[in-house]
């Protein structure tokens, strides 16, 4: 069959050279067997921007691009034992860019031909290595593991057998996900695949799960998680932890606990990092500190209005006007409740120290209930003042 190249999404905003390459390569790809079509287009969507960037003098090869290229190569090698035509396409692309660079055509910036050759050589090496890897695995009589199984094994800390890690990235954003209302699993996974391409590995259900996104550093990990979050409807919470591939299981534990703390603390939907909940994370790891904080908050448990008032004060960072508006009460009523909170806990919610300690205490109590840990008994009622609340 004849294959028609689909243009790269957003091509109008890319360099003219990349658009020209998509046009030039179309005749080379005619009569590509159908099983290769999807994988080949996925490969070219990663390859062409790399070669065009090299022509501009940029050396850009992020971890997520490597994973995307390797995943596409693995699919190609699974579909055919002969990757020579694909190597020929990459070599032809490289030759065409070298011609543009060396001819000094108008509108093309000067660049070192060596940079273009280096990218082309690396791409060919990846192709050949991927073909060899797949061929070796086939010869052993084993099939490639499903992506879901590989994701689960990585999350549990199981190391890939032999060279089965060929198409994995060196580091990942480990993202824990929770949805308030069930979402279509395909749509949920699609949001992550949209921002990370074929390198995204998902273990998701309708209400969440875990996702691995190739990321070169912590900043990129947070960026990818936030981009995916922006694509999803409804109330969704995420926690992200960046880890090298060998530490993904630790990243899963960290992201899972940060997500649990964000939910326990009634934080708004969004993306949370360890730095956002550092105090709460430390409290959750130290039972004796957690128990002391729970004991501070327990006198309020008999007074739902006071407990709700404190939660709103924490959510509004102690802003009394916002808190009164959200609670739909008069400012004088709020001031009275604040006095009662101070009487019962010994901490003033209007002070920086008071609101911080009380916020940590709320989280410690929610975490203790969530994890099933028994609460310490509150102080005897006789030790407290018991003014009735309206």
Residue 48: the pLDDT is 77
- The terminus-to-terminus CA distance of the chain in angstroms comes to 79
CA distances from 65 to 24, 39, 78, 257, 338 (A): 23, 14, 20, 29, 54
Per-residue confidence (pLDDT) for residue 243, from 0 to 100: 93
| Cα 335 from Cα 352, distance rounded (Å) | 17
Whether residue 319 is predicted with pLDDT greater than 90 in this model: the reply is no
> Locate tokens 């996900």: which residue?
177
pLDDT at 213: 94
Phi and psi at residue 210, to the nearest 5° = -130, 150
pLDDT confidence tier of residue 22, bands split at 50, 70 and 90: confident
Among 3-17, 123-137, 328-342, the minimum mean pLDDT is found in 3-17
Average pLDDT over residues 227-234: 94
pLDDT at residue 327 is higher than 80: yes
Q: What is the pLDDT of residues 333-382, one digit of tens each?
A: 999 999 999 999 999 888 888 888 888 888 878 777 766 555 444 444 33
- Report how far residue 218's alpha carbon sits from residue 59's, in angstroms, rounded to the nearest whole number: 21
Q: What is the phi-psi region of residue 385: left when phi exceeds 0, alpha when psi lies from -120 to 50, beta otherwise?
A: beta
pLDDT computed for residue 28 by the predictor: 62
Position 66 scores a pLDDT of 73
Is it the case that residue 117 has pLDDT exceeding 90? no
Out of 52-61, 190-199, 206-215, 351-360, least confident range: 52-61
Residues 34-87: pLDDT tens digits? 666 667 777 777 777 777 777 766 666 677 777 777 777 777 776 666 666 677
- Give the Cα separation of 382 and 267 in Å (integer): 34
**Confidence (pLDDT) at 166:** 67
pLDDT of residue 237: 95
- Could you give phi then psi for residue 162, rounded to 5 degrees? 50, -125
Is the pLDDT at 267 greater than 70? The verdict is yes
pLDDT value of position 254: 92
Dihedral sign, Cα of residue 219, residue 224, residue 227, residue 233: negative
């Amino acid at each position: 069959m004849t294959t028609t190249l689909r243009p790269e999404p957003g091509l109008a905003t890319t360099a003219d050279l990349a658009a020209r390459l998509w046009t030039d390569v179309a005749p080379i790809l005619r009569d590509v067997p159908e099983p290769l079509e999807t994988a080949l287009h996925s490969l070219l969507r990663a390859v062409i921007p790399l070669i065009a960037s090299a022509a501009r003098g940029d050396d850009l090869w992020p971890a997520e691009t490597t994973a995307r290229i390797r995943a596409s190569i693995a699919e190609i090698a699974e579909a055919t034992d002969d990757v020579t035509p694909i190597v020929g396409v990459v070599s032809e692309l490289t030759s065409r860019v070298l011609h543009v660079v060396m001819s000094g055509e108008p509108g093309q910036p000067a660049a070192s031909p060596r940079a273009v050759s280096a990218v082309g050589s690396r791409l060919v090496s990846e192709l050949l290595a991927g073909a060899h890897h797949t061929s070796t695995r086939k010869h052993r009589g084993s099939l490639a593991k499903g992506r879901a199984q590989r994701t689960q094994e990585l999350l549990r800390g199981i190391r890939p057998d032999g060279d089965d890690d060929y198409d994995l990235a060196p580091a990942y954003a480990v993202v824990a996900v929770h949805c308030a209302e069930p979402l279509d699993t395909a749509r949920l996974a699609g949001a992550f695949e949209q921002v990370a391409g074929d390198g995204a590995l998902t273990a998701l259900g309708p209400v969440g799960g875990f996702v691995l996104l190739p990321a070169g550093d912590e900043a990129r990990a947070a960026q990818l998680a936030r981009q995916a979050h922006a694509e999803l409807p409804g109330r969704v919470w995420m926690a992200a932890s960046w880890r090298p591939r060998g530490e993904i299981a630790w990243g899963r534990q960290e992201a899972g606990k940060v997500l649990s703390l964000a939910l326990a603390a009634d934080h708004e939907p969004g993306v949370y990092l360890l730095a956002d909940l550092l105090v709460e994370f430390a409290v959750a790891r130290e039972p004796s500190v957690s128990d002391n904080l729970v004991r501070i908050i327990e006198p309020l448990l008999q007074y739902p209005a006071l407990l709700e008032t404190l939660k709103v004060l924490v959510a509004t960072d102690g802003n009394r006007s916002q808190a009164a508006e959200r609670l739909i009460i008069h400012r004088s009523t709020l001031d009275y409740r604040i006095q009662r909170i101070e009487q019962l806990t010994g901490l003033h919610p209007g002070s920086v120290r008071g609101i911080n300690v009380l916020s940590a205490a709320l989280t410690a109590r929610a975490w203790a209930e969530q994890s099933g840990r028994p609460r310490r008994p509150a102080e005897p009622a006789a030790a407290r003042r018991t003014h009735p609340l309206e």
